[in-house]
């Protein structure tokens, strides 16, 4: 199962067996059930998570109970409350399993240590964070510039497999529209 | 003037005089006039820019001529069309000087070489990109969750000096609202 991480890393850095074993020793493995909280608003955040199997969401609840989804994560994706993880502040989001989920966990300390001791991993995270930054700029632009129909279409085309696995109400919370608006879009 | 870069780097990595001279040798210096284009939609993008003095915007124009501003950059900030720079695609944005501007320029090749040869710089860019990622997540969330008044207030409190230097029409283009809406907000 951890070979999924190796394949993922090797898209950016070549690794020997010994190097991968060394990297893997910095991670711990955990399984969560559907609906289980991996991170909970107000609590401290200790890990970055790499998804081996399953599906999660990072969600924000307003005081009136409305949910907004900042991020989904499925196989090969990383997820955490990065602000809380970096700045040792309480989590501002809930990270919750939408399916039974199997992750590899990396503490902030271990990430720092691994990067310092083995430069290819520092390189990996620099490149990966840069890719995430670019994807996030595109998502922000689509919020600024596109109407809901175009955002829906773009999400559908970029991540077709998400649509099969995520309830429509969560797609609506990701796009920042009501469930009713989404129904009109998906019918269109 | 380049001491501004040194101070900026030393917020994350300590440097000797020799190390900074080595780092600086990877950069070139350029001056641009107000209204000058640093990056132009459709052209190739060769540099990441560190601002020593001045102010720039990264802007997207719709076919109907409406402008959206993805980013401002003033002293100590980095700016580029990162998607185009990374993927060697034509620029999707214009990066334009709002004031006379003085920058240090780093090609993608030199950034790669500098990071490979001197790990502290790989570390610097990993941390810096991570900080940018977190700031961008917050901006996206404010687009999803907050009304225009709250977004205006947040921008005003986070970057008070921007408000003194940037025309109101550009603040509106950054917040994704019309000039008229912004006038009502700033009067409120």
ipTM summary value: 0.95
pLDDT, tens digit only, all 188 positions of chain A: 899 999 999 999 999 999 999 999 999 999 999 999 999 999 999 999 999 999 999 999 988 889 999 999 999 999 999 999 999 999 999 999 999 999 999 999 999 999 999 999 999 999 999 999 999 999 999 988 888 888 888 888 888 888 889 998 999 999 988 888 888 877 65
SS3 content of chain B, % helix, strand, coil (to 5): 50, 25, 30
* Cβ–Cβ below 8 Å for B134 and A86: yes
pLDDT value of position A162:
87
Compute the distance between CA of residue B175 and CA of residue A97 in angstroms, rounded to an integer: 33
Q: Which residues of B lie closer than 8 Å to A, measured between beta carbons?
A: 60, 62, 68, 70, 82-83, 86, 115-116, 119, 122-123, 125-126, 129-134, 136-141, 143-145, 176
Å between B162 CA and nearest CA of chain A: 20
**CA-closest candidate to residue A71, choices A53, A107, A43, A98:** A98
Report the residue from A83, A119, A143 with minimal CB separation from B134.
A83
Compute the distance between CA of residue A24 and CA of residue A21 in angstroms, rounded to an integer: 5
Q: Which residues of A touch B176 (CB under 8 A)?
A: 143-145
pLDDT value of position B188:
55
pLDDT 10s digits, B53-85: 999 999 999 888 899 999 999 999 999 999 999
Domain limits, chain B:
3-118
The strand pairing partners of A143, in sequence order, are none
Compute the distance between CA of residue B134 and CA of residue B126 in angstroms, rounded to an integer: 12
Choose from A144, A146, A170, A171 for mutation: most chain B CBs within 10 A. A144
Q: What is the CATH number of domain A3-118?
A: 2.60.120.10
Two structure tokens written together for A149: 């129909």
pLDDT value of position A156:
86
Question: Are the C-beta atoms of B180 and A107 separated by less than 8 Å?
Answer: no
What lies within 8 Å, CB to CB, of A35 at 6+ separation is A96, A97
pLDDT 10s digits, B12-50: 999 999 999 999 999 999 999 999 999 999 999 999 999
Q: What is the CA radius of gyration of chain A?
A: 17
* Cβ–Cβ below 8 Å for A68 and B144: yes
Q: Which residues of B touch A145 (CB under 8 A)?
A: 60, 62, 68, 176
Q: Nearest residue of B to residue A140 by CA position?
A: B140
pLDDT band at B1 (very low <50, low <70, confident <90, very high): confident
Tell me phi and psi for residue B39, to 5 degrees.
Answer: -135, 140
> Across chain B, what does the average pLDDT equal?
94
Across the A:B interface, residue pairs with CB atoms under 8 Å apart total: 88
Question: Are the C-beta atoms of A104 and A49 separated by less than 8 Å?
Answer: yes
Contacts 24+ apart (CB under 8 A), A13-19: A13/A120, A13/A121, A13/A123, A13/A124, A15/A120, A19/A118, A19/A120
Q: Does pLDDT of B158 surpass 90?
A: no
User: How far is C-alpha A188 from the chain's CA centre?
Assistant: 29
Choose from A108, A129, A175 for mutation: most chain B CBs within 10 A. A129
Q: Which residues of A lie closer than 8 Å to B, measured between beta carbons?
A: 60, 62, 68, 70, 82-83, 86, 115-116, 119, 122-123, 125-126, 129-134, 136-141, 143-145, 176
* Cβ–Cβ below 8 Å for B68 and A139: no
Q: Nearest residue of B to residue A112 by CA position?
A: B123
Question: Are the C-beta atoms of B37 and B96 separated by less than 8 Å?
Answer: yes
Tell me the pTM.
0.95
Compute the distance between CA of residue B124 and CA of residue B130 in angstroms, rounded to an integer: 10
């Amino acid at each position: 199962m951890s070979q999924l991480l190796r394949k993922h890393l090797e898209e950016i850095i070549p690794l020997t067996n010994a190097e991968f074993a060394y990297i893997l020793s910095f991670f711990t493995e955990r399984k969560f059930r559907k609906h289980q909280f991996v991170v909970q608003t107000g609590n401290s955040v200790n890990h970055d998570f790499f998804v081996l199997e399953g599906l999660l969401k990072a969600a924000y609840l307003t005081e009136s109970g409305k949910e907004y989804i900042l991020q989904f994560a499925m196989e090969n994706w990383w997820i955490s409350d990065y602000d809380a993880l970096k700045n040792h502040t309480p989590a501002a989001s809930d990270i919750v399993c939408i399916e039974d989920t199997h992750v590899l966990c990396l503490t902030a300390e271990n990430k720092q240590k691994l990067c310092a001791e083995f430069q290819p991993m520092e390189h990996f995270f620099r490149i990966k964070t840069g890719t995430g930054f670019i994807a996030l700029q595109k998502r922000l632009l689509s919020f600024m510039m596109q109407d809901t129909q175009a955002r829906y279409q773009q999400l559908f085309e970029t991540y077709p497999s998400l649509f099969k696995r995520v309830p429509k109400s969560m797609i609506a919370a990701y796009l920042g529209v009501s469930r009713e608006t989404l129904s009109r879009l998906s019918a269109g």
